Amino acid sequence: MTDDRTRDSAVVSLATVDVPDEVSDADWAVLDEAERHHVERMRVPAQRVRSAATRAALRRLVARRTGSDPAAVPISRGQYGQPTASGLYLSAAHSGRVGIVALCEHVPVGVDVECVDQHTHEPASHMLDRLAPNERRLLDELDGEERRLTFLRIWTAKEAVLKAIGCGLTVPLDAVAVDPNPLRIHARELDTRWWAAKAVDPRPGAIATVAAASRWLQVNRMRV
C-alpha cells in the first residue's frame, strides 16, 4: 500500500457470525434491556435468533476495541436504526443464518449481507427500474446465476453505503451507483465524500459488502 493509500484508507474491523438454532445464553447475557425487548417483540423465531446473535456480536466487537465488558457497551441507534457506541462508527446486518458486524474509528461504515438461497428468483422489474443506468446495462448482459449474484453484489453495496450515510431507503436507489467489477461506488450527488467498498462474503452462498466514507478501505477480520 502506498503512503497515499495508508493516509486515505479507512480501517474497518469486521466479524461474521454463524447464527445458531436458538438464542444462546451467552448472547442473551450481553444484550441490554432495550435490545431484549426489541428481540422479544419479533414474531418470527428465526429473526429473534439472527437479531440477538448479531447484536451480541456487535457488542463483542466494540468491547474488543475499547477493552470493556460487552454487556456494558453503550450502544445507541439513529433514526433508521444505525448503531453507534463510544464515538465509533458501527454497522450490522444479517440474512438467513449469517450475521456480519463492522466497526470503523474515523469514518462512517456500512455493511450488508444477503444469502443467495433466499433470492432464487429474478430481481423484480420494479427493482431493476430503480437501478442506475450502468447497473442496468451490466445486468442486461448477464443471465442465470451470474445475473442474480451480480444483482446481489450491487444491492449489498448500495445498502452498505446508504447505511453508512444513515439515510435508509429514503433516497432513490440510483443515487448510489455501483460498478461491481472491480467494485467502485459513485455517490457524489448524494454525499460528496469518497466512498470505498469491498466484497467480504463470509462463506459460499452469502454475498456481503462493506463500504466506508474513504478513498480506500482496509478490512481486518476479527473473531468475536
Binding site for another protein (CB under 8 A): 38, 41-44, 46-47, 95, 114, 119, 124, 126-127, 130, 155, 159, 168-173
When the beta carbons of 37 and 203 are compared against another protein, the nearer one is 37
When the beta carbons of 34 and 71 are compared against another protein, the nearer one is 34
Asked if 103 contacts 90 with a C-beta cutoff of 8 angstroms, the reply is: yes
CB of 47 to another protein, least distance (A): 4
CA atoms within 13 A on the CB side of 84: 18
**Residue 188 grid cell:** 457524489
When the beta carbons of 61 and 131 are compared against another protein, the nearer one is 131
- DSSP bridge partners of 13: 103, 220
168-190: string of b/e by CB count within 10 Å (b at 16+)?
eeeeebbbbbbbbeebebebeeb
CB of 51 to another protein, least distance (A): 9
Rounded to a whole number, what is the largest CA-CA distance in the chain?
A: 50
CB of 92 to another protein, least distance (A): 13
When the beta carbons of 27 and 159 are compared against another protein, the nearer one is 159
Asked if 219 contacts 167 with a C-beta cutoff of 8 angstroms, the reply is: no
CB of 69 to another protein, least distance (A): 27
When the beta carbons of 170 and 192 are compared against another protein, the nearer one is 170
CB of 26 to another protein, least distance (A): 23
Closest CA to 160 of 207, 94, 109: 109
